[in-house]
Amino acid sequence: MDTLITVGQLVLSLSILIVLHEFGHFLPARLFGTRVEKFYLFFDPGFSLFKKQIGETEYGIGWLPLGGYVKISGMIDESFDKEQMDQEPQPYEFRSKPAWQRLIIMLGGVTVNFILGFLIYALVLFGYGEEYFPAENITAGIAVDSLGQEIGLQSGDKILRVGDVPFERFNDRIVLREIAINNARTIEVERNNTQTTVAVDPKWVDLLTRYENKSARLFGPRVPLVVARVSKDSPAEQSGLKLEDRIVSVNGTPTPYFDQVTVALQEQKGQQVRLGIKPKESERVREVNLTLTEEGTMGVAVAPPDYFYDTERQDYTLGEAIPAGINQGVNFLGDQFKAFGQMFAGKIKVTESLGGFASIGGMFGKTWVWERFWYMTASLSLILAFMNLLPIPALDGGHVMFLLYEVVSGRKPSDTFMERATMVGFVIVLGLVVLANGLDIWRWING
């Protein structure tokens, strides 16, 4: 069921983006009197799942979910319709239109995707607002995970600044972004009431962008362990733990925070431990004996950070959400450009960053959360626009590149040249698709 939810979100998101992208080509083509022969969601080599002729255009759904297309008369594209191109140009064909009209038609898809990405970001902010932990509210500092510990952070640290960026909203992704994308080389922390500088080794640009570390947590808010749920027939239930009990010691050693309890229990897997328990609204500590599972667990769910720390919420009017959404989209695109720069500089490995449908689908999550779905759709829309602008023949950017050459030089590339260039571009794009999805398969096989 989890897989179906993930696949459903991916298919719906990509379908929305593909249809609107192709409509971005379709609309100006029709406005300029250019015939559009086909409008397809997904590709249809051999046969289609659905098709219907309306006027001059056949609308349909293909069986190969690798994108979509509009077939515009008189245009050299991935259909490689040489028979049509060998005939005399017709007034309704793409090749008969002025270069500026052809340029607008080719830029229509990415234009729609850029506008759509910014608009969805704005509407998400308008509809959901932003809820976050101000860093100053996390009074106990961070609970560091193994990756954060390797960087040089310690549990209890209060992060003040990452590089030149103040740490104002508590989120470990901010630290990851500043190190991997913006080359931050220091993290300023307050440690034991003293301000300390943690030097960040340049190797972390590569390590933090490796596939296996993309979802790895660096740290979280440091909180006590307060019981939020007790599993039936678990060691915790058998020992009498109750909701909102706070674990303050393990075998007589004080453990005021959850991360300390976890470390202590992992050292006693399968053994009996003595827990110091402080019930809610009581200063009296009682002790209970409990035999841990072989995994070092006791069968409880713990209270989340917002049980201990106050969040703040920023709501937006529509007028405020639009510029904020555009700014969010611009920042996202800026990060993509910087990431490409890191790849060209050899600091980020392309094979670690590249992923296919499985990688993209995993970002939606296993539960359907509409806020996350629309946020991911906005991000994918901007990525689709950005990737389509790359100057590779067969992509929109390749067509735009040749059209700009024609506008500047006054000379139109020959149909034979365009056919060969499009074929080369198609092979490049297909190769990238195979590589990206092959990497997903390889990662799955290797666990």
The sign one gets for the Cα dihedral 70, 419, 79, 351 is: negative
- Tens of pLDDT along 26-47? 999 999 999 999 999 998 888 8
Tell me what percent of the residues of the chain surpass a pLDDT of 70: 97
- Tens of pLDDT along 312-324? 999 999 999 999 9
- Tens of pLDDT along 137-190? 999 999 999 999 999 999 999 999 999 999 999 999 999 999 999 999 999 999
Q: Which two tokens stand for residue 189?
A: 């922390």
Q: What is the pLDDT of residue 77?
A: 65
Residue 81 has pLDDT above 80, yes or no: no
Q: What is the pLDDT of residue 308?
A: 95
Residue 80 has pLDDT above 60, yes or no: no
Residue 89 has pLDDT above 80, yes or no: no
Residue ranges, CATH 2.30.42.10, the chain: 135-221, 225-302
- Pick 135-221's CATH classification: 2.30.42.10, 3.40.50.2030, 1.20.1290.10, 2.40.160.60: 2.30.42.10
> Within a 10 A sphere around the Cβ of 46, how many other Cβ atoms?
8
Q: What is the pLDDT of residue 137?
A: 96
Q: What is the DSSP string of 50-73?
A: EEEEETTEEEEEEEEEEEEEEEET
Q: Is 161 exposed, middle or buried (0-12, 13-18, 19+ CB in 10 A)?
A: middle
CATH fold of 225-302: Pdz3 Domain (2.30.42)
Q: What is the pLDDT of residue 95?
A: 84
Tell me what percent of the residues of the chain surpass a pLDDT of 90: 63
Q: What is the DSSP string of 240-295?
A: T--TT-EEEEETTEE--SHHHHHHHHHTTTTSEEEEEEE-TT----EEEEEEPPTT
pLDDT band, residue 18 (cuts 50/70/90): very high
